[in-house]
Structure 1
């Protein structure tokens, strides 16, 4: 990784080679032991010869439930501090758009603006007054170094590769498919990191997913893909998991459109916990402004952080009332 010392590099590549059989077809990966055990307590325990496990003795392990593309991303991240998404869809450059014959009929098929694009339309003073816009802004900003979905290595913030952004030359349907594939891959890597106890990779996946969610311009097809991703996330995580929180906050930030999108009712019926989490996540917009403002900010408070700026500032504001 970026900050690795010469001694660490020597320690990694002088370790023994482990053969890992990954996926249903048992694709073979040969990796240095210390490259993976330094990140994962599960792999460390599995491959520790003192524990006497067969994997440690044979220097072989089988990961039958892991896709090779997921494991390859883990190895890339362990080596370089990043991993790239490799698209499998056939990219076709969009034809030059023609004026629709029936503008009213075509309007329903148009993409919706991304969170970033939508916020750019409003002046800061208006965003501060409209709490639902403020919530959206907090969601967008939560990818910054002090946010919930920050890069786990703050010194690398802002150095994300170009493959984290969507191809502007793709037509809407293709762009939405790429959004679905990209996010699905990040979810799979997150679940792998959760299973093998790799906290930094988990946070990195959240950061990448957040980048996708705040940049995507979704049509109805894109929202359907989003709902499928939410169902997968809930099926593979437990109550209070940060992956669930990320998707729920994306829904709350876009709730006016989300609840009208085809497939929203289906995901609520199929995964009842989603409805409960969305209900709990919605800020107290109806309360007095001070309480509502503090509630919006509290939604994005990091668990390990101290009181939010709103909580600290509200003490003075209350004293001035």
Structure 2
């Protein structure tokens, strides 16, 4: 009897001690219920650990755990997002980084066979201020060897980079909408760095116009619009090319909001005399 009692007491103590153990953060993440994201027209499915998602996004955490129908059914449909953007978010929450793959198309067969000459960098103060990045809350350091800017060296002057820029902008918009601050800062830093390194030409100016249209033709964060408007104001400079201003004319007529933003930055240039 005494022996059985002893074993019973020992078991009770062990059970009590086990109940007091705290589950480590990685265990809590990887043992949490997966939550499904159904993305885009193709209905691509992503299964992400719910605790990890909630730890990175308060908005998504409320969606998962706050009694909404999505939380009860265990999935959410994101019809307006694309799989590449959500894949970047998924990679980021697990690794703290994201990479985007691209298969860059050439602008067209005629251009691909020509020798293209890039325009020089702007020499005005607005360009120097843009590259400095302080006005855009550029927090993480993104070096010239960052994987996100390597594609700029892989293509030629005839390569279409519009989707490259827009992809980083989409990641920023997604992160802004769901309050993923670290991903916002990283995607903004990468887009900013890419714009600083991008060498303009008569063939490449269309890539910038496509980015501006993406940012202004839908509701989006002012921080992103400020970035592209500031860049545009800096490169509209006769020292770059007489063709730059003409390239922007149609877009300025189409988008009064972009015209107003760029006018503000141009006025700042006039005030500083550059």
- TM-score, length-scaled by structure 1: 0.67
SS at match of 1:278: helix
Task: Report if aligned partners of 1:251, 1:258 keep a CA contact under 8 Å in 2.
Answer: no
> 1:279: which partner in 2?
263
> 1:83: which partner in 2?
98
Shift of 1:87: 0.6
Shift of 1:249: 1.0
Deviation per CA, 1:142-177: give whole Å up to 9, x if none. Answer: 1xxx662423xx4x6549633423353532102xx1
Shift of 1:89: 2.5
Task: Report if aligned partners of 2:118, 2:200 keep a CA contact under 8 Å in 1.
Answer: yes
136, 143, 165: which one aligns with 1:148: 136
Residues 1:172 and 1:37: Cα distance change in structure 2 (over 3 Å): same
Q: Does 1:162 align with 2:122?
A: no
Q: Does 1:43 align with 2:60?
A: yes
Structure with max Cα Rg: 2
The range that moved more, 29-38 or 278-287, is 278-287
> 1:124: which partner in 2?
none
Shift of 1:241: 0.4
SS at match of 2:45: strand
Whole-angstrom CA distance in 2 between matches of 1:218 and 1:285: 20
Whole-angstrom CA distance in 1 between matches of 2:154 and 2:32: 45
SS at match of 2:46: strand
SS at match of 1:38: helix
Give the alignment of 1:1-321 within 5 angstroms: 7-48=24-65, 51-89=66-104, 110-113=117-120, 115=121, 132=124, 134-142=125-133, 148-151=136-139, 154=140, 158=143, 161-168=146-153, 170-174=155-159, 177=160, 179-238=161-220, 241-256=222-237, 257=240, 260-261=243-244, 263-284=247-268, 287=271, 292=272
Structure 2 gaps of 5+ residues are: 1-22, 107-111
Structure 1 runs (4+) greater than 6 angstroms displaced:
none
Deviation per CA, 1:248-282: give whole Å up to 9, x if none. Answer: 11112112147733541111111111111111122
Whole-angstrom CA distance in 2 between matches of 1:265 and 1:258: 14
SS at match of 1:164: coil
Whole-angstrom CA distance in 2 between matches of 1:157 and 1:167: 14
Residues 1:20 and 1:170: Cα distance change in structure 2 (over 3 Å): closer
SS at match of 1:138: helix
Root mean square deviation of aligned Cα: 2.9
> 1:307: which partner in 2?
none
